[in-house]
Chain A
Amino acid sequence: MREISLHILDIVQNSVVAGATRIEVFVDEDIAADRLTVEINDDGCGMSKDFLAKVIDPFTTKRTTRKVGLGIPLFKNAAESTGGSFEIQSELGKGTCVRAVFGYSHIDRQPLGDMADTMLGLFTSYEQIDFVYRHKVNDKEFEVVTADLKAVLEGVSFTAPEVYLWLSEFLKEGESELN
């Protein structure tokens, strides 16, 4: 992966497959503390203690089509190679929380990349899921709660052409205001 935002897109797919109805994505760029934190919380099916213990192993996967799963190991490695940390908490039937901390100024830290595109793809592909997206850069914050947007839309889809274009601009603007 070239960008952290691509890891996020990938890791959120796990929450989708876990049957989550609500997914929270937090990105916190705290430059003073030299830290970039990514947190993904879901209310999906969660993992057993046994599965959780081996989920960072690339040869562990829930897929039945092949025997490798690289999403989590790649994300973990990307965080840890910047002097950061990685943890997963999960409980069967409750959900999962993935948290990765990156060293902000570390030479090996990937750029965050295009979060607007990542969230747009998720919002429009998994419309049935309620997303909460929050991106903080120091003391500036951009938050999108898709349930609020759905309330305004009254059943009109995110993929209706005009809505899609609005959403795309809305996310791009929100992101650019942070810098």
Chain B
Amino acid sequence: MKSLAELEAIRNRAKGNVTLRKDDHAVRVVVGMATCGIAAGARPVLAAIMDEVAKRNLEHVAVTQTGCIGVCRLEPIVEVMVPGEEKVTYVKVDEKKAAEIVSEHIVNGRIVTKYTIGAAE
């Protein structure tokens, strides 16, 4: 069983970096989590992104939820915002695509064009 003592140890390790990290969120990832997004499978997508970000220790990435983005038929929708670049909207995302978006777009800096709204429309 995971214990609070374990969490305390993690806190102590993490604490040194906290002040650095707070304003350092350079990249924002937003997942549409309204009724439409959730019904289309946004929850596993959010989990996959959070997981990938945590496992790769990407401390400059902030993952957040938003409501309905307005194109329900293309949900689950994920938006990636890199400072200084145009926002990229990915559509019909699943867990596999989500992991690929993190590794390709956020880590390697290459937009995964085939999953973007431009490619779907």
| Chain B residues at the A interface, C-beta cutoff of 8 Å | 1-2, 4, 6-8, 10-11, 13-15, 17-18, 21, 33-36, 38-39, 43-44, 46-47, 50-51, 53-55, 57-59, 62-65, 67-68, 70
Contact = CB atoms under 8 A, between A and B. Distances in A.
Given A118-B43, A162-B13, A168-B51, A152 B35 contact: no
Q: Is the interface of A mostly helix, strand, loop or mixed?
A: helix
Given A65-B68, A153-B7, A162-B14, 9 more contacts: A70-B36, A124-B63, A125-B33, A160-B10, A160-B18, A161-B58, A162-B10, A162-B13, A163-B10
B43 A161 contact: no
Interface string A101-126: 00000000000001001101100111
Contacts of B51: 165, 168
A173 B2 contact: yes
A69 B46 CA distance: 22
B55 A159 contact: no
Instruction: Please classify the interface of chain B as helix (H, G, I), strand (E, B), loop, or mixed, using the class held by over half of its residues.
Output: helix
A160 B63 CA distance: 11
Given A125-B64, A159-B63, A173-B2, A152 B43 contact: no
Contacts of A44: none
Given A9-B43, A168-B51, A163 B35 contact: no
Nearest to B68: A65
A92 interface: no
A13 B68 CA distance: 11
Nearest to A153: B11
A159 B51 CA distance: 10
A121 B37 CA distance: 14
Given A117-B43, A125-B65, A161-B59, A169 B2 contact: yes
A160 B15 CA distance: 10
A74 to B, nearest CB: 7
A41 to B, nearest CB: 20
List the 6 closest A-B pairs by CB distance, nearest first. Answer: A170-B2, A161-B54, A164-B54, A125-B65, A71-B35, A162-B10
Contact of A152 (B7, B46, B68): B7
* Among B4, B14, B51, residue most surrounded by chain A Cβ atoms (within 10 Å): B14
Contact of B55 (A70, A120, A125, A165): A165
